[in-house]
Amino acid sequence: MLQNTKNDNLVTETIDFVTKNVVKLLYQQGVTIACAESCTGGMLCEKITSVPGASEVFEMGIVSYSNRIKTKLLGVPEEILEEYGAVSEQTARLMAKGAVSRSGSQIGVAVTGIAGPGGGTEKKPVGTVFVCVIKNENGKEIVDVRDLALYKEEKNLTREKVRQLTVLKALEMVEKMCGQNEAEG
């Protein structure tokens, strides 16, 4: 049985707050977003589309759990997946690029990781997550890609906690890239 703690409620409330701000920023800037998700299984898209007005800024989301879909729909080369793995900076970057190129959005966000409880290794433990945000602005590509290494921050990581923290961090990265101060006031 899952216990709902104050910390879990705080994470959920923070996700909701940041999501609303992201949608507002995107709308104010007249840009759209597309998502490519693996370990979050659509949670990022769900959060964005739960905000009224999201249809003005949200283009598409692809849940690419399998490597086959990462290759077929997002254009991640099989060689990259073989060399670096599905959970890697390289794969996250190419997933985000694929989301942008297939949607025509100005912003692409991709998440790939190991949510657990199984699937982790010594080299890539549960909580290994890569997030990439790409923004095309005036013909220039701005890229922010991070290894969240959630296992270093949180000791009792559950599958749901990995997914929630990943969504929060991804949204914060989008918010930062869009200039969070512009939506305040």
pLDDT of residue 153: 85
Specify if 62 maps to a domain: yes
Specify if 113 maps to a domain: no
- Listing DSSP states for 132-182 in one string gives EEEEEETTEEEEEEEE--HHHH-SS--HHHHHHHHHHHHHHHHHHHH-GGG
d(CA 87, CA 80): 11
Q: Both tokens of residue 126?
A: 């549960």
Whether residue 184 has pLDDT greater than 50: no
- Host domain of residue 52: 31-84+94-108+124-136+167-180
Q: What percent of the chain has pLDDT over 90?
A: 86
Between 179 and 25, the more confident residue is 25
Specify if 159 maps to a domain: no
Q: What is the mean pLDDT of residues 175-181?
A: 81
Place of tokens 């709902």: 4
Q: Both tokens of residue 138?
A: 């005036």
Per residue in 146-175, is it b (16+ CB within 10 Å) or e — as a string? ebbebbeeeeebebebbbbbbbbbbbbbbb
Q: Which amino acid is at 78?
A: E
Q: What is the mean pLDDT of residues 74-85?
A: 98
pLDDT of residue 168: 97
Specify if 20 maps to a domain: no
Q: What percent of the chain has pLDDT over 70?
A: 93
Neighbour count for residue 78 (Cβ, 10 Å): 11
Q: What is the mean pLDDT of residues 168-184?
A: 81
The confidence band for 180, taking pLDDT boundaries of 50, 70 and 90, is low
Residue 46 main-chain phi, psi, to 5 deg: -60, -45
d(CA 103, CA 140): 17
- CATH number for the domain spanning 103: value is 3.90.950.20
Average pLDDT, the chain: 93
pLDDT of residue 185: 41
Global pTM exceeds 0.85: yes
Whether residue 99 has pLDDT greater than 70: yes
Specify if 24 maps to a domain: no
Radius of gyration of the chain from Cα atoms? 16
Specify if 41 maps to a domain: yes
Specify if 151 maps to a domain: no
pLDDT of residue 183: 44
Would strands 107-113 and 58-63 be described as parallel, antiparallel, or unpaired?
Answer: unpaired
pLDDT digits (tens, 9 = 90+) for 113-161: 999 999 999 999 999 999 999 999 888 999 999 999 999 988 789 999 9
Considering its fold, how many domains does the chain have in total?
A: 1
Specify if 36 maps to a domain: yes
pLDDT of residue 5: 60
Q: What is the mean pLDDT of residues 152-176?
A: 94
